[in-house]
């Protein structure tokens, strides 16, 4: 096949640009340690209130400065919708749905995960600055979807 010289140059340059972008992502993942959600177990939404740890939604300290927040997402609220932790804490959120698909996004953090019936969503962040961080549902979950939010209060 006949390919002109400048076509070849452009095709090569493009390849370099794309590889550079991939390398930048690689650096982001390994150096900055920003990870995507990974499988963290299954839970039956019909039995969720009888299944640990979702039988006791809420926040608890699991080690000094480390907290676990267990949250049930349902149409159209998070249970609980307020999480209080001292500043400098690392919070591991475990979120699961009792009905349809929801989303879980905490503002000003890297937390962004789908909450899919049947799956436990597990994500973590460290809260260094005191203040309120809104978390909200970002997946359409019915008529009241836009009412569904809560707050992490860092003291």
Partner 1 sequence: MSSIARTTGMEYSGPAETIYLAEQLWPIRGQLYLGLLGLAVGGYLGLLQALERIGIDLYSAHFLKSYYQGLTIHGVLLAFLFTFAFSNSFLSLTTIRGFERPLASTWLAQGAFWTMLAGTVLAAFAILTNQATVLFTFYAPLKASSLFYLGAVFLVLSTWLTSANQLLTLRAWRREHPEEPIPLLGFVSVVPYLMWDLASVGVAILVVVFLLPWSLGILSHVDPQFDRLLFWFTGHPIVYFWLLPAYVSWYLMIPAQVGGRLFSDGLTRFVFLLFLVLSTPTGLHHQFTDPGMPTVMKTVHLFTTFAVVYPSFITAFTVMAALESGGRARGGRGLLGWIRALPWKDPSVNAQLLAMLVFTLGGATGIVNASYSVNLVVHNTAFVPGHFHMTVGTAVALTAMGICYWLIPFLSGRELWGRRLALAQAWLWAIGMLVFARGQIAGGLSGMPRRTAIGDAAYLDLFQWSLDNWLTAIGGIVMTTSGLLFFIVMLRTLFFSRPLAAPVEIPVAETVHGARESWPLFDRLGLWFLIAVGLAVVAYVPVILGYLPLNPVSPPIRVY
Report what 120 binds from partner 1, Cu ion, none; CB cut-off 5-8 Å by kind. Answer: partner 1
Report what 38 binds from partner 1, Cu ion, none; CB cut-off 5-8 Å by kind. Answer: partner 1
Which helix (H) or strand (E) segment holds residue 14: the answer is helix 5-31
Of 118, 126, 131, 155, the residue at the interface with partner 1 (CB under 8 A) is 118
Question: Is residue 113 packed enough to be buried (19+ CB in 10 Å), middle (13-18) or exposed (0-12)?
Answer: buried
Q: How many angstroms separate the first and last alpha carbons of the chain? A: 67
Q: In the structure, how many helices (H) and strands (E) does the chain have?
A: 1, 10
Nearest to 109 by CA among 86, 84, 92: 92
Q: Single out the segment in contact with Cu ion by CB under 5 A; choices: 1-9, 66-74, 124-132, 145-153.
A: 145-153
Of 12, 34, 60, 126, the residue at the interface with partner 1 (CB under 8 A) is 34
Site membership for Cu ion, residue 145 (CB under 5 A): yes
Report what 125 binds from Cu ion, partner 1, none; CB cut-off 5-8 Å by kind. Answer: none
């Amino acid at each position: 096949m006949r390919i002109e010289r400048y076509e070849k140059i452009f095709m090569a340059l493009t390849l370099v640009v794309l590889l550079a972008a991939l390398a930048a992502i690689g650096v982001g993942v390994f150096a900055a340690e920003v990870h995507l959600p990974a499988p963290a177990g299954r839970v039956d939404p019909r039995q969720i209130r009888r299944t640990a740890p979702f039988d006791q939604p809420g926040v608890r300290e699991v080690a000094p400065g480390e907290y676990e927040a267990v949250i049930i997402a349902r149409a159209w609220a998070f249970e609980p919708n307020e999480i209080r932790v001292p500043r400098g804490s690392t919070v591991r959120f475990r979120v699961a749905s009792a009905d349809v698909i929801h989303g879980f996004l905490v503002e000003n953090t890297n937390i962004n995960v789908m909450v899919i019936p049947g799956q436990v969503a597990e994500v973590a962040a460290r809260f260094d600055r005191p203040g309120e961080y809104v978390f909200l549902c970002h997946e359409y979950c019915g008529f009241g979807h836009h009412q569904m939010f809560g707050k992490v209060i860092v003291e």
